[in-house]
Amino acid sequence: MHTVVVGTSGVTASDVLAVARGGARVELSGEAVSALAAARGIVDALAAKPEPVYGVSTGFGALATRHISPELRARLQRNIVRSHAAGMGPRVEREVVRALMFLRLKTVCSGRTGVRPEVAQTMADVLNAGITPVVHEYGSLGCSGDLAPLSHCALTLMGEGDAEGPDGVVRPAGELLAEHGIAPVELREKEGLALLNGTDGMLGMLVMALADLDMLYKSADITAALSLEALLGTDRVLAPELHAIRPHPGQGASAANMLAVLEGSELTGHHQDDAPRVQDAYSVRCAPQVAGAGRDTMAHARLVAERELASAVDNPVVLPDGRVESNGNFHGAPVAYVLDFLAIAVADLASIAERRTDRLLDKNRSHGLPPFLADDAGVDSGLMIAQYTQAALVSELKRLAVPASADSIPSSAMQEDHVSMGWSAARKLRTAVDNLTRVLAVELYAASRAVELREGLRPAPATQAAITAVRKAGVEGPGPDRFLAPDLAAADVFVREGRLVEAVEAVTGPLR
């Protein structure tokens, strides 16, 4: 099994994906263990002094003014975990919780938190055992980190609360730890606070969304190319020299992808002979501009994610010179903004795909295709309601594009009076990514059927490969009306699993 070694300088996006989705094992580097021990020595020295130090010998948040005596400090750390594990609502996905735990471990291993090496090792042991704490949908405001979600994870380390075992069954965490030979941790000064004070949940969801969108943006270039073919559009608008004079990198990449997919097509440009059009509609002609803008948005979001992956997010932090200082680095604004920005780009990509689908179904705009791509229009309704479903998804995506990070709500007796709502931005982006996949699946379904209805003209080898692969995946082609939901579900899985991109790249080589 693949192993990810966590050091003091952060982790990569591929590390997060390997642990969250691939079940990779986690190990602590020797460097990390040394840094953990050194930082812990600083915290222990401060804890022995009579002067109060936030998070070490004081209460938290609005209660930070109270100095806590040594005999109560272990209880203080247990209590912050128990009291902050106050999430509600449905459970979040296993991969999100694994990313959350792994990214908290990443910060702990930086040697900036004051957590003991044995606590960090227990975090790794829980991940390696396949134990997944029960974390709920609601409880994070994205400031002071993802407090409730991280607290539920810390509760599992203490052997309390519920967790899911490797068999998928939810049981008391203490039982699961015992079965795997993991001793519950006894938290000491600062450790409870350090385990729940980070942007780890929103960051993990950002990393996974970027991975999914990388595949979906390639899929969108493919479905746009299929629609262009089906509408007898021109590929001249994809010429590199046209995109070079507006040098947005994403736009150039999308245009190049579409051009590669359409190479060798007998369908493109025929409208100039049969039904003169000066230009194709915006949804066809501007596909690279819209998808390209989304790609550039992803590039910015990836830069933010890389910076956050290299960060040590905690409050207070242990500095190399031995100081323990309070800070505001737990505020989720940098991550929240790009999560919202991505949701806007996703909604727009879905919107332009839906417009192309609608054009394919409208006999007045499809340039010779049957109404709704029906076998016997009037007797058959064809894909009429498939487009309804797609339109409903697009409308939902527009609502999901409303930014969460534009909101703030004060908490903790006005001590935490401005929050990022980054967790909420991440949760809605996950829904948006799911819905974009479905929208592209409907466009694929409609465009592949429409290309097959253009008898006598051969599609490009790459688009033919896509059509052949999707038919082998159980998505049927033109014909009389049938129960449509299974076909759409199969198309969704085909896109979601990356098989559309795989089929096309077998012909074109790697897309950009």
Tell me which residue has tokens 């949804």: 283
CB atoms within 10 A of CB 221: 28
Look at residues 441, 19, 430 and name the one whose alpha carbon lies nearest to residue 209.
430
Look at residues 430, 444, 435 and name the one whose alpha carbon lies nearest to residue 490.
444
Catalytic-residue membership of 54: yes
Look at residues 408, 396, 307, 402 and name the one whose alpha carbon lies nearest to residue 350.
396
User: Which string of b and e fits 320-351 if b means at least 16 CB within 10 Å?
Assistant: eeeebeeeebbbbbbbbbbbbbbbbbbbbbbb
Among 54, 282, 337, 388, the active-site one is 54
Distance CA 85, CA 148 (A): 5
Element (H, E) at 366: none
Q: DSSP class of residue 371?
A: G
CA atoms within 13 A on the CB side of 171: 12
The CA-to-CA distance between both ends of the chain, in Å, stands at 30
> Which contacts of 11-15 are long-range, i.e. CB under 8 A and separated by 24 or more positions?
11/102, 11/103, 11/106, 11/309, 12/309, 13/207, 13/210, 13/211, 13/302, 13/305, 13/306, 13/309, 15/102
* φ/ψ of residue 407, rounded to 5: -105, 155
* φ/ψ of residue 406, rounded to 5: -80, -10
Tokens matching residue 455: 């008898």
Tell me which residue has tokens 């022995």: 48
Distance CA 134, CA 187 (A): 20
CA atoms within 13 A on the CB side of 353: 37
Distance CA 500, CA 223 (A): 9
Q: Are strands 162-164 and 170-172 parallel, antiparallel or unpaired?
A: antiparallel
Distance CA 417, CA 438 (A): 39
Can you tell me whether residue 170 is helix, strand or coil? strand
Q: Are strands 88-91 and 3-6 parallel, antiparallel or unpaired?
A: unpaired
Distance CA 244, CA 394 (A): 31
Active site residues: 54
